[in-house]
Amino acid sequence: EMSVNAPFYAKQNIMAMASGCAVSECFESSNIVSTNQGPLASSIGAAMHAVEKLGAKNISCIGLAIPSVGNWSCGAVEKYMASKGLKASSVLLNPGAPDVNGGLLEAVASGANSILVNLPAGLAIAFLRAAQEQDLRDSYSWISSTPLYDKSVPAALGKYWDGKVFVNAELTMLDGKGPDNQQWLKVMDTFGKKEDPRDTFSQAGYLSAKYFTQTLAAMPAAKVDDRAAVTAAIKKISGLRSDLACGPYYVGEAKQHMPNHAGIMVVVKDGGFQKVRDCYEYEGPYFKPLIDAEKALGLR
């Protein structure tokens, strides 16, 4: 949807406040802003942790062969690693018929000592099961972008991966005690179904809705149905904070928007997740224009 509509939103002066973006157009467009990070930032966050804490020197990034998703995010991991004088490569699976065994063999052949699983949760689990069949757990450090941070994942992976899979989370802990996280859980329990995911992307949806309604509530009532006025109000958002996020949320006038580029790391442990690293900001060439924008807005 974002890939198709990004130019339309700009032409029509619509500012879209998104929550579960995965494609580059969602983050590299003037009129879309999301509370989630997308695969690029989350993958760099995971790679950064692997370098700093797990001794990664060469990362193989496993993604989907979709130019604005896997190529984009794994390509940024390669650039991040190069900026550190280290190595990385991409293994991109056919989204129509993903071959996890073939992808695993390609990752092994790359010479990597760390494997970054940058896939949707179900496919990521299948990839890790293929690695389990080859008993590769202790041959690499295993890291992942956010999709594996889902309450159903530890049981699906089983004891074999206990303490071995490190996952970057774009927002804070799913069982966090902060007021926004508790309100999100209450909303889900009251209005959602049991089978509705309680994951980072659900948190992000709550957060976008909160920021949007706050913005509308602060507007004169007569202006709430004025598209241009609403767009202007959204673009003025600056420095909103929540216990769900590691940094401030802002919009502003820019050609790209990614206010959320700091996260936490968790590890699959004892049938759940254990936080191993609190909020940290990601590094790398991709984030320089974002940091410059934050300085211009007085957020740094």
Task: DSSP for 255-300, please give it.
Answer: S------EEEEEEEETTEEEEEEEEEE--SGGGHHHHHHHHHTT--
Burial class (CB in 10 A: 0-12, 13-18, 19+), 125: buried
The pLDDT tens digits along the chain (300 residues) read: 888 899 999 999 999 999 999 999 999 999 999 999 999 999 999 999 999 999 999 999 999 999 999 999 999 999 999 999 999 999 999 999 999 999 999 999 999 999 999 999 999 999 999 999 999 999 999 999 999 999 899 999 999 999 999 999 999 999 999 999 999 999 999 999 999 988 999 999 999 999 999 999 999 999 999 999 999 999 999 999 999 999 999 999 999 999 999 999 999 999 999 999 999 999 999 999 999 888 888 887
Measured distance CA(21)–CA(260) in Å, rounded: 12
DSSP 11-40: HHT--EEESS--SHHHHSSTTEEESS-HHH
For residue 202, is it within any domain?
no
Bridge partners of 89, per DSSP, are 60
For residue 238, is it within any domain?
no
For residue 137, is it within any domain?
yes
Write the CA distances from 250 to 34, 193, 217, 224, 253, integer angstroms.
Answer: 10, 31, 17, 20, 10
- The whole-number pLDDT of residue 186 equals 98
For residue 111, is it within any domain?
yes
Domain with 73, as residue range(s), is 40-174+264-274
Q: What CATH code is carried by the domain that includes residue 162? A: 3.40.50.2300
For residue 67, is it within any domain?
yes
- The whole-number pLDDT of residue 111 equals 98
- The whole-number pLDDT of residue 282 equals 97
Q: Cβ distance 272 to 154 under 8 Å?
A: yes
Instruction: Enter the pTM of the model.
Output: 0.95
For residue 168, is it within any domain?
yes
Number of domains the chain is built from: 1
- The whole-number pLDDT of residue 174 equals 95
For residue 109, is it within any domain?
yes
Measured distance CA(170)–CA(260) in Å, rounded: 8
For residue 138, is it within any domain?
yes
